Amino acid sequence: MCGIAGIVSVRNISDRLLRSIKNLEYRGYDSCGVAILTKDRIEIRKEVGTVEEVDRKEKLAEPQGFLGISHTRWATHGKVTQINSHPHLSCDGTIAVVHNGIISNYRALKDELIQIGHRFVSETDTEVISHLIEEYYQVEGDIEKSLIKAFQLLEGTYAFALISTREPDKIFCARRESPLVLGVGSDSMFVGSDINAFVEFTKDIVILEDGEYAIITANSYSIKDGSTGSQIQRKVQTINWSAEVAQKGGYPHFMLKEIHEQPDVVKTVLNLDTRDIQKLAEMIHESERTYLVGVGTTYYVALAGQYYFSKIVGCYLPAVSSDEFEYVAEVNPNTLFLCASQSGETYDTLKALRYAKKKGSKTAAIVNVIGSSVAREVNHAIMQSSGPEICVLSTKAALAQIVILLRTALELARLKGHISEQTFSEYMKQLELLPQMIRQILDEKTGNIRNIAYRRAQIKNWLFLGRGIYMAVAMEAALKMKEVTYQHAEGMPGGFMKHGTIALIDDDTYTLVLVPPREEDDLYHQTMSNVEEIKARKGFIVGFHHGKSDSIFDEEVVLPDAPPLIAPLLQLVVGQLFAYFSAVALKRNVDKPRSLAKSVTVA
């Protein structure tokens, strides 16, 4: 996730453009830059650092002009360097582009463009946009026509804004699944990845939909369909958000905002370069043993991954908590250490990684922060590109990591010939349903989940049960509950309960049971037998389950039928919402719960 802003006006825009990226900094903060059209040339100022640091050095608002674009970066392709920061220019310097998201086919496009003489200076996927449009402009002689052609060719989830000396009174922008919104002022027009880019200047907005592009001048905006170029009429809406609410995208907390970002985060993960996933699958294939490693939530990510590998590939990849790794793992040059880490700086995970390296193990990681210690120290890092996670609790980053492990399991199963090409594509199709199914749950089930959470928020002790991969989800849901509500929740395998914990069950105990879809015959019946056991002892049960309502539960969240591959991930989202609303009911400090830090860098 990066922040894009653009302003075109009848008066100087430099100060406002700088304000825009300051207000977008929460979307990315490793580097930033501006491109301002001054007289007949584009002046670029960009550097590594926070907006404040870069401004101190580069004087971002010094170039004067009526039109410009700016960017805060959360690196995905290419290291955090001055060259890789945005904006990016075409060879002749007449086109500048800022971009958010991922161009998934950029490598092939870059190779073609290089072959016909384009000179690339950065390692980014963004730079293909400026060169591609420059290339088309030579034939079309028109930026809009060139943009349409490029837009049709660029794959992935992305949004970009572009200026050109050839048409010096316009900003062009386009979106494919990454957000983009226009702001309408009295003598200025704005574009931003979200309204924070311009909420200080106007509260009149127009939202761009997927596959659309827009052209703005100082006093007009026009929205068009990216495939046909036909005009789309869309009215201005007026919002009344404060700057603080705007930062949270209109949500009361970053946690809820980040939960709602998950459909997009999953789409991004589904668009990550297949070759990176295949490389990871090959590394697993070539190793005698692969350990899946993480701590806290990322341990549960690893645990979920363990079940996917076993179910899809028939391979046992043990999940180990980073802090216990040294005490239990047998590591040698034939092993692969594969960890997940949102921050890439977690002490326990780094310590385990360094231990594995010392023993000669190969190493790989799924990381959200480019340039972080974990990302730098492993042999192969997959950047998950989920954007900054501001809430201390991990939600979207964890889901993205599980989906990456799931994609890796599918690639490995294909590589080993464990599944046919046809089964592989059927699984991929199921996976592609995930973003829309999460969206459906967020839209249709939030009220239901909130009501249960509000009614039961005072419960001080929970038992969260699940079997198979639902055990990993139950444990993660219990961790979310503990850290954000400060109430106790114990996640446990369903089958484990009757070996001791069942002694707790009476009419004053509360259990949450994660029930798989009926299609998972054995798992479903085994889980329901736990439900019966609890009922027989008059325990109170909340059920997350699929299909139709079941009166055995005292409270229930009935989810739509879903393929077994993705059903647990839907329940993960329900668990996040349940913890969130319980914390809201208890008036907890949701985004910064007591005693917790976003990145635990100490022993």
Residues classed as catalytic:
2, 598
* Residue 350 beta carbon to ligand F6R: minimum distance, rounded to whole angstroms: 9
* Concatenated DSSP letters of 290-347: EEEEESTHHHHHHHHHHHHIIIII-----EEEGGGHHHH----TTEEEEEEESSS--H
What is d(CA 59, CA 45) in angstroms, rounded to the nearest whole number?
Answer: 8
* Residue 295 beta carbon to ligand F6R: minimum distance, rounded to whole angstroms: 5
CB-side neighbour CA atoms (13 Å) of 570: 33
Using CB atoms within 10 A of its CB, is residue 83 exposed (0-12), middle (13-18) or buried (19+)?
middle
Tell me which amino acid residue 403 is. V
Backbone angles phi, psi at 455, to 5 degrees: -70, -30
Residue 401 contacts residue 340 (beta carbons within 8 Å): yes
Nearest residue (CB) to ligand F6R, 397 versus 497: 397
Q: Are strands 540-546 and 510-514 parallel, antiparallel or unpaired?
A: parallel
Nearest residue (CB) to ligand F6R, 298 versus 408: 298
Residue 591 token pair: 């985004």
Backbone angles phi, psi at 574, to 5 degrees: -65, -40
Distances (CA, A) of 504 to 166, 378, 460, 501, 542: 74, 45, 14, 6, 17
The secondary element (H helix, E strand) that includes residue 111 is: helix 106-115
* Residue 345 beta carbon to ligand F6R: minimum distance, rounded to whole angstroms: 7
* Residue 1 beta carbon to ligand F6R: minimum distance, rounded to whole angstroms: 16
CA 530, chain centre distance (Å): 34
What is d(CA 577, CA 445) in angstroms, rounded to the nearest whole number?
Answer: 10
With CA atoms as reference, report the closest residue to 194 among 32, 1, 347, 468.
1
Nearest residue (CB) to ligand F6R, 34 versus 382: 382
What is d(CA 523, CA 88) in angstroms, rounded to the nearest whole number?
Answer: 52
* Residue 365 beta carbon to ligand F6R: minimum distance, rounded to whole angstroms: 10
* Residue 292 beta carbon to ligand F6R: minimum distance, rounded to whole angstroms: 13
Nearest residue (CB) to ligand F6R, 385 versus 394: 394
Nearest residue (CB) to ligand F6R, 236 versus 596: 596
* Residue 76 beta carbon to ligand F6R: minimum distance, rounded to whole angstroms: 17
CA 296, chain centre distance (Å): 19
* Residue 351 beta carbon to ligand F6R: minimum distance, rounded to whole angstroms: 12
Backbone angles phi, psi at 549, to 5 degrees: -55, 145
CA 504, chain centre distance (Å): 39
Residue 171 contacts residue 180 (beta carbons within 8 Å): no
With CA atoms as reference, report the closest residue to 73 among 129, 5, 131, 13.
5
- Bond before 318 cis per omega within 30 degrees: no
What is d(CA 173, CA 372) in angstroms, rounded to the nearest whole number?
Answer: 31
What is d(CA 161, CA 171) in angstroms, rounded to the nearest whole number?
Answer: 7
* Residue 597 beta carbon to ligand F6R: minimum distance, rounded to whole angstroms: 8
* Residue 480 beta carbon to ligand F6R: minimum distance, rounded to whole angstroms: 6
Nearest residue (CB) to ligand F6R, 152 versus 601: 601
Sequence-ordered strand ranges (E) for 10-54: 31-38, 41-48
* Residue 362 beta carbon to ligand F6R: minimum distance, rounded to whole angstroms: 20
Nearest residue (CB) to ligand F6R, 483 versus 556: 483
Residue 36 contacts residue 30 (beta carbons within 8 Å): no
Contacts of 549 (CB under 8 A, 6+ apart): 556, 558
Length in residues, the chain: 603
Nearest residue (CB) to ligand F6R, 75 versus 199: 75
Give buried/exposed letters for 442-472 (b at 16+ CB in 10 A, else e): beebbebbbebbeebbebeebbbbbbbbbbb
Residues that bind ligand F6R (CB under 6 A): 295-298, 341-343, 346, 349, 393-394, 483, 599-600
Residue nearest to ligand F6R (CB): 296
Residue 412 token pair: 């490995």
